[in-house]
Amino acid sequence: MTARGRDVRGSAVRLGLLALPAAFFAVFFAWPVAAIVARGLRTDGAWHPGRIADVVAQPDIRHVLWFTCWQALASTALTLLLALPAAFVLARLDFPGRQLLRAVVTIPFVLPTVVAGSAFLALVGHGGLLDRLWGVRLDTTVWAILLAHVFFNYAVVVRTVGGLWSQLDPRQEEAARMLGASPWGAFRKVTLPALAPAVAAAALMVFLFTFTSFGVVQILGGPTFSTLEVEIYRQTSEVFDLSTAAVLTLVQFAAVGAVLVVHAWTVRRRETALRLVDPEITARRPRGAGQRALLAGVLATVALLLVLPLAVLVRRSLDAPGFGYYRALTRTDGGTFLVAPVHAVWTSLQYAVAATVIAVVIGGLAAAALARRDAGRLVRGFDALLMLPLGVSAVTVGFGFLIALDEPPLDLRQSWLLVPLAQALVGAPFVVRTMLPVLRAVDLRLREAAAVLGASPWRVWREVDLPLVRRALVVAAGFAFAVSLGEFGATVFIARPDNPTLPVAVARLLSRPGDLNYGQAMALSTILMVVCAAALLVLERLRTDRTGEF
Amino acid sequence: MLSLKSVTVRFGGRAVLDAVDLEIAEHEVVCVLGPSGSGKSTLLRAVAGLQPLDAGRVSLAGHDQGGVPAHQRGVGLMFQDHQLFPQRDVAANVAFGLRMHGVAKAERVARVGELLDMVGMPGADRRAVAGLSGGEQQRVALARALAPRPRLLMLDEPLGQLDRSLRERLVVELRELFGRLGTTVLAVTHDQGEAFALADRVVVMRDGRIAQSGTPLEVWQRPADAFVARFLGFENVVPATVVGAVADSPWGKLPVPQGAPQGDRTLLVRPAGVRLVPADTGLTCTVAARTFKGTHVAVHLQPGDGPRLEAACALRDAPETGDRVGAEFDAAEIVVLD
């Protein structure tokens, strides 16, 4: 066989693997987005691109753009400042309760934004814990938003940076010390450069998540603070100005696309040639006052910022005597819901299972194609493309579904599949990100060894790759499950009124006045939190630190 | 059995294999010897079908292997660092190739037991590969490669990572095993001792080309050129002009065997052919260094003029560093190359 012949066959395999994910993204992402843009920019059969300049020139829109950018930058900086010490502590220090801390840190990331929003409201809002203790209210300031963003993205930094940090060979620093470097010098010259791409990647992820923040800003921002995402939602659902919403979507697209290109670049750099070791051997007992103070500081931060809001949430859900709010969930009140709110738990679980299956199939195929060593620039570009639904506003996805998939040839309006499809779109990038590093880490020569022993390419995959990535597959499925369980921005548009998911039910309860509704929202949030946390703890048992970056 | 015809592989613009021709007969054990980067491993990968050719052809038993994928070639390859499947135990690793070839379970179990006996690891079936020592991994990898009874067994640096005593013992075991099984073997190594001990025939490679091919004795006695001589560890290689039975070299006029090629040549002087005599007889030198070699002492001599000269001498006769000695030469240990 000639080298050229091999190239052609390799490309064919790659395209075959990519066909399904590509079709999925074309139909359920590109098309709806195109439909929104067309509906916004096209009137009377003509395009009006000038609308972009008009919209961006509006003072209130410029204010939204400015706020979106600076709050995202501030949130990212604050998250790095607070989470990098935790990355070090969890990677390099060995102390009792380390596994528990790791799990606690990760829980907020998989919690629905609505839950976190109302938890912070319960902590720092009107009648919240701080208000009652000291009369302090933060819900009218930007601090509530920034702190909630730290709450969510703490895990992104700890996981991405700490995961790598725990696997960096400490002997590299020791070698630098033997060559005359001071401890700080060795850290700065050896460890920091090795970590830099991971820190950059984490910072970009946090920036992306906070730039497109919806639920948190919606609940904590009040009338004062509005991000692009909230503004798109407001324009579509309150003002019904689709044209402006479409323009804002385009602006968001451009920004997110730029960030994702940079992200894909840093991810690739991170996957190159670092000597990694078993994380079990790199952690040491804390030594000296400095390390103990750092550990104490991290524990205090986690307690105040991550645990306290959730504790307050649970506490508020129990305010009514005899689990009153929980018992109220099982009754139909005839007003807010057609069915008992607790029915949403069952609906959510069904949707989440279906979404997980779709996300794992689509994401798994894409990861398998992307992991091939001969993957060209085009295929790697697809990597960034897959991340797009994650970064582009979930509201866009949901609204796009609503207007693009409601008429022939594809009328899914009545299909229960609509919600799982949207959720899978949001979940699939997580599957890719979890699977890809593991698939890329499978030694090529292990596959060759199997081939020489008589295994066909398909059997090589089944016998060599699958056993090695099975665990990552389970972890990816778990993340997809948790993500779809908590998905709000897209689902709020397309969930049928008689069948709300948990987050949608929470939001609906919160939007209605009265202590009972508020209490029920807290109770339902608590149930959701417990389900997500349970899923995460199962994953935590399964995962090794090599599986993925979240 | 195996035939390579002007096999060429290029990485970027560089030819890693440059029109290599090689024939291996049934039951022959051939060892490819060369420094790292000489293209040895690529040669094995090309035969296995893991590396596409840019030109030339590979035939097995008379059949062109162009277009035959690796898993249908029926050759075995033992990887440099073994590449045992980490998630399978010893028996499952050995049985892997048998399963791929659809061998029935009962037969597989019997064959695995037989192979583990053969490589000296009876009863290791259920052990995890992560817990094996380097030597044990090597044995399991060998059993795994042998299990499907490949037409041709290829070994990539089979003993590369093992310590010396283990390596020497395993070389003997491998040699016996191949003799007993009658397997056709193509091995590559950078260690000349390993190659000479293992092979019926040694092929020396340099920069993607074959520099010399012959029995270990032939290669050792008559290296084809200065590169091969230096690679085999000979230091005393100098240019010389040969006229009759005398060579004019930087070390003066040296005797060469009768019938040696004439004219401008390269001369190899084996250390054993340098006799140490009292100073002022022969070539006067200062002892620059001496290294203990077990059976003898290698003495590095610095003549007043010209390159260094290595001499082998018995332990008790070895001069001290800094001594002045004379050197005389023995025609029987001098080879005129090219």
Gap from B165 CA to chain A (nearest CA, Å): 28
Nearest to B100 among A1, A448, A453 (CB): A453
CB-based contact B83 A464, cutoff 8 Å: no
Q: What is the pLDDT of residue A300?
A: 92
Report residue A149's pLDDT band, with 50, 70 and 90 as the boundaries.
very high
CB-based contact A445 B71, cutoff 8 Å: no
Q: What is the pLDDT of residue A547?
A: 42
Looking at the DSSP bridge assignments, the partners of residue B186 are B30, B154
Report residue A74's pLDDT band, with 50, 70 and 90 as the boundaries.
very high
**What is the C-alpha separation between B337 and B331, in angstroms, rounded?**
14
pLDDT digits over A383-436, tens only?
667 666 665 667 778 878 877 877 666 676 677 788 899 888 888 888 887 788
Domains annotated on chain A, with CATH: 1-42+323-544 (1.10.3720.10), 70-316 (1.10.3720.10)
- B27, B39 Cβ separation under 8 angstroms: no
Q: Is B66 on the interface with A (CB under 8 A)?
A: yes
Q: Is B59 on the interface with A (CB under 8 A)?
A: no
> Taking 50 as the threshold, does the pLDDT of residue A173 lie above it?
yes
Q: What is the pLDDT of residue A271?
A: 52
Q: What is the pLDDT of residue A265?
A: 74
CB-based contact B53 A2, cutoff 8 Å: yes
CB-based contact B50 A2, cutoff 8 Å: no
Q: What is the pLDDT of residue A409?
A: 66
CB-based contact A455 B101, cutoff 8 Å: no
**What is the C-alpha separation between A160 and A395, in angstroms, rounded?**
27
- B189, B167 Cβ separation under 8 angstroms: no
Report residue A548's pLDDT band, with 50, 70 and 90 as the boundaries.
very low
| DSSP one-letter string for A325-362 | HHHHHTS--SSS-SS-TTHHHHHHHHHHHHHHHHHHHH
| Long-range residue pairs from B131-135, CB within 8 A, at least 24 positions apart, any chain | B132/B84, B132/B90, B134/B161, B134/B162, B134/B163, B134/B166, B135/B162, B135/B166, B135/B170
Q: What is the pLDDT of residue B26?
A: 93
Q: What is the pLDDT of residue A545?
A: 43
Question: Considering chain A, what is the average pLDDT of its residues?
Answer: 79
Which chain A residues are within 8 Å of B77, Cβ to Cβ?
A: 448-449, 452
CB-based contact B70 A449, cutoff 8 Å: no
pLDDT digits over A190-205, tens only?
788 888 878 888 888 8
**H or E element in which residue A46 lies:** strand A46-47
How many other C-beta atoms can be found within 10 angstroms of the C-beta atom of residue A334?
A: 7
CB-based contact A1 B52, cutoff 8 Å: yes
Sign of CA dihedral A204, A209, A212, A217: negative
- B26, B1 Cβ separation under 8 angstroms: yes
- A465, A447 Cβ separation under 8 angstroms: yes
Please state the three-class secondary structure of chain B as a single string: CEEEEEEEEEECCEEEEEEEEEEECCCCEEEEECCCCCCHHHHHHHHHCCCCECEEEEEECCEECCCCCHHHCCEEEECCCCCCCCCCEHHHHHHHHHHHCCCCHHHHHHHHHHHHHHCCCCCCCCCEHHHCCHHHHHHHHHHHHHCCCCCEEEEECCCCCCCHHHHHHHHHHHHHHHHHHCCEEEEEECCHHHHHHHCCEEEEEECCEEEEEECHHHHHHCCCCHHHHHHCCCCCEEEEEEECCEEEECCEEEECCCCCCCEEEEEEECHHHEEEEECCCCEEEEEEEEEECCCCEEEEEEECCCCCEEEEECHHHCCCCCCEEEEEECHHHEEEEC
Mutation site, B80, B83, B137, B154, interface A, largest A CB count within 10 A: B83
Q: What is the pLDDT of residue A550?
A: 42
Tell which wins on pLDDT, A516 or A69: A69
Nearest residue of chain A to residue B56 (CA atoms): A2
Gap from A425 CA to chain B (nearest CA, Å): 33
Q: What is the pLDDT of residue B211?
A: 92
Sign of CA dihedral A135, A136, A141, A145: negative
CA-to-CA separations, B7 to A261, A378, B22, B76, in angstroms, rounded:
42, 32, 9, 20
Q: What is the pLDDT of residue B316?
A: 83
pLDDT digits over A270-314, tens only?
555 555 666 666 677 777 777 888 889 999 998 888 889 888 888
| Long-range residue pairs from B286-294, CB within 8 A, at least 24 positions apart, any chain | B286/B322, B286/B323, B286/B324, B287/B319, B287/B320, B287/B321, B287/B322, B287/B323, B287/B324, B287/B325, B288/B321, B289/B321, B290/B318, B290/B319, B290/B320, B290/B321
| pTM beyond cutoff 0.90 | no
Say what angle helices A343-371 and A377-391 make with each other, to 10 degrees. 160
**What is the C-alpha separation between A45 and B119, in angstroms, rounded?**
79
- The distance from CA A161 to its chain's CA centroid, rounded to whole angstroms, is 16
Q: What is the pLDDT of residue A375?
A: 56
What backbone torsions phi and psi does residue A376 show, to the nearest 5 degrees?
-85, -175
Mutation site, A6, A374, A452, interface B, largest B CB count within 10 A: A452
> Taking 90 as the threshold, does the pLDDT of residue A163 lie above it?
no
Report residue A323's pLDDT band, with 50, 70 and 90 as the boundaries.
confident
Instruction: Tokens for A46, please give them.
Output: 């003509």
- A314, A326 Cβ separation under 8 angstroms: no
The answer for residues whose C-beta is within 8 angstroms of residue B288's C-beta and 6 or more apart is: B300, B301, B302, B308, B321
Q: Is B56 on the interface with A (CB under 8 A)?
A: no
Instruction: Tokens for B21, please give them.
Output: 């021709």
Which chain A residues are within 8 Å of B79, Cβ to Cβ?
A: 445, 448-449
The answer for residues whose C-beta is within 8 angstroms of residue A448's C-beta and 6 or more apart is: B45, B48, B50, B70, B77, B79, B83
Nearest to A443 among B72, B77, B83 (CB): B83
- B236, B334 Cβ separation under 8 angstroms: no
Tell which wins on pLDDT, A87 or A263: A87
Which chain A residues are within 8 Å of B75, Cβ to Cβ?
A: 452
Nearest residue of chain A to residue B97 (CA atoms): A453
**What is the C-alpha separation between B20 and B40, in angstroms, rounded?**
11
Nearest to B50 among A448, A463, A467 (CB): A448
CB-based contact A448 B101, cutoff 8 Å: no
Gap from A456 CA to chain B (nearest CA, Å): 6
CB-based contact B71 A456, cutoff 8 Å: yes
The answer for residues whose C-beta is within 8 angstroms of residue A116's C-beta and 6 or more apart is: A108, A148, A151, A152, A215, A216, A309
**H or E element in which residue A406 lies:** strand A406-407
CB-based contact B52 A2, cutoff 8 Å: yes
- Beta-carbon contacts below 8 Å between A and B: 84
Q: Is B77 on the interface with A (CB under 8 A)?
A: yes
Q: Which residue has the tokens 């499925």?
A: A477
> Taking 80 as the threshold, does the pLDDT of residue A40 lie above it?
no
What backbone torsions phi and psi does residue B221 show, to the nearest 5 degrees?
-75, -40
CB-based contact B79 A445, cutoff 8 Å: yes
The answer for residues whose C-beta is within 8 angstroms of residue B267's C-beta and 6 or more apart is: B237, B238, B239, B240, B242, B247, B249, B254, B256, B334, B335, B336, B337
Nearest residue of chain B to residue A462 (CA atoms): B100
Mean pLDDT over A367-388 rounds to: 68
Gap from A453 CA to chain B (nearest CA, Å): 5
Q: Which residues of chain B have pLDDT under 70?
A: none
Gap from A199 CA to chain B (nearest CA, Å): 32
Which chain A residues are within 8 Å of B68, Cβ to Cβ?
A: 1
Gap from B27 CA to chain A (nearest CA, Å): 20
Nearest to A6 among B45, B52, B77 (CB): B52
CB-based contact A467 B87, cutoff 8 Å: yes
Gap from B240 CA to chain A (nearest CA, Å): 45
- A90, A166 Cβ separation under 8 angstroms: yes
Q: Is B307 on the interface with A (CB under 8 A)?
A: no
Nearest to B77 among A3, A452, A457 (CB): A452
